[in-house]
Chain A
């Protein structure tokens, strides 16, 4: 790390951050707009317990995923902050 200039570090850090955000937002969109809405009609026959899967995703599953996504971001960023030596 020490051989890199501060500028290179900042660029690398920002790239790592952007790719992480991209991955997490893709999951965010898939669980809510994808499984909850766009595929709601074709997937309506699949059941979770006694509840149709799209209904469960749109009213329960996606929200649970959202909470996990935010904590995952915070946790992974702790590591990225430390790796690029920009942590507090």
Chain B
């Protein structure tokens, strides 16, 4: 029997994930082809829409911001061995925290308001993720099912709060009162004319900071070490004296706080008010982003940019090719999760054989 030769590191870290993503997109292309549309045209429109002009690029970065936070939220929980598919609900509930401080101190300068929004939103998001964490740690409830159910509950809860409590009298649409301009998170277009009328704002820089923060937390601190130990080998973690229930609850709360920043980006930065269903699937994209990026900040950043481009390009596409709706992106998302997450090792054995054959003559064997 032949011995399996491990793959070179660059293949494992870079080539394999890229091949998996390519596979996901190829199948996506075939689906587009099957409804009688040209996938290459679609890609062309999307690239132009996402990067071709200033405000398009600004929108791409705006979506990227959301996906970085949601992706980091899923990644962080994943390192501790948990699958948090609740960033959607966590971000939604965090919107309540953001709008409460914003309306309470409406008119405060944004330099003070921005940190307040981060803290309040973060606390609300952390709380919404902490409960499933608590139920997992103390009662053994399956975290996947509870986080999903919490998404449904968040929809009901926020629906009630927005339509029955926050909605001012005399307003028709389901939204809260507006935040004054001076209190909103400033848009990057105020500093860079390039972004024209796009909504990318200072929260984008916060997302970059969050990428470094998560890297530091997971790979450079004792807490991160404990987290990874728990994720890789819960028994070893127990022998090392790591309290799994405390780790699970803390990690979930942190994960929820990261997801919460989606609300700061949207409520505090773009809309300036709390709108019904403002998260609009960004939390779910985080799941795909985390798998595609292998839960590493560099990967998450690249995957977020790709999905940001897909979202913005997808809007452009909907204008140019009405046959393709935005839901195609959800399909791509699913294929990416399937091929990079569940079937990630499909190409591993063929690649191992290929490299073994390639290396044998070179190794003088």
Please say whether chains A and B are actual partners in one complex: no
